[in-house]
Amino acid sequence: MDDIVVIALFRHGLTEANKRGAYLGWKDSPLILDEMKIPINRNYGCYFSSDLHRCIETVKIFFPDESPYLLKELREMDFGEWDGKTYDELKEELLYRQWLSEPLKYRPPEGEWFQRFQDRIQDGWSQIVNKILLNNLQSCAVITHGGVVRHILTKFAPEIREFWEWQSPHHEGFELIFNREALRRGERCTLLQAVPLMGKESG
């Protein structure tokens, strides 16, 4: 079925910062290897990844024989001075509370505006789609961050939801199934399905 394209989205593995509930943007944090998951037998025609270390390391575990195209555009939002801090560490700051209430109106100190974050992801998405169309690929996998996955689902999932309504757990990926012409036109996919990940066997 040459008119069908599958684009799979995977969030990087759980990191130490994720586990303690900290914001994790352009800084990095080690993966917790004991809690890493591996996909259930999936192969794709091409692989893309954020250029941050936690995503590159996740690719090596999820798809050990593949060399992904690295895209800076697929990075998580830049949280600036809040990167690595938790809600409890920030909750007394007025700007932080304002940002939580109106994320489009405020931004983290030295961090990224939400609109800029969205525009950047769209630039990365365009590069992915161009690669698919130019090479007539039928599938690809994207290893990225929770915020990036949420944005892509907001823009292209068949069910319309707001950014904050989507969840991107570490133990689940998503496959967006497009008609090739709809993908070319920037339309929503026709089907969204979960890709459960399986924990490593002990021993």
35: in domain:
yes
Q: Which domain holds residue 22?
A: 4-76+113-199
Order of strands across the sheet that contains 139-144: 37-39, 191-199, 172-179, 4-11, 139-144, 47-50, 69-71
95: in domain:
no
103: in domain:
no
* pLDDT tens digit sequence for 158-194: 999 999 999 998 878 999 999 999 999 999 999 999 9
49: in domain:
yes
pTM of the model: 0.93
CATH number at residue 180: 3.40.50.1240
In order of 6, 30, 78, 133, the CA distances from 15 in angstroms are 27, 5, 17, 34
66: in domain:
yes
8: in domain:
yes
All residues at 6 or more sequence positions from 30 whose CB lies less than 8 Å from its CB, including other chains: 15, 16, 54
Residue 22, pLDDT > 70, answer yes
DSSP 173: E
* pLDDT tens digit sequence for 27-69: 999 999 877 767 656 889 999 999 999 999 999 989 988 999 9
How many domains does the structure of the chain reveal? 1
84: in domain:
no
82: in domain:
no
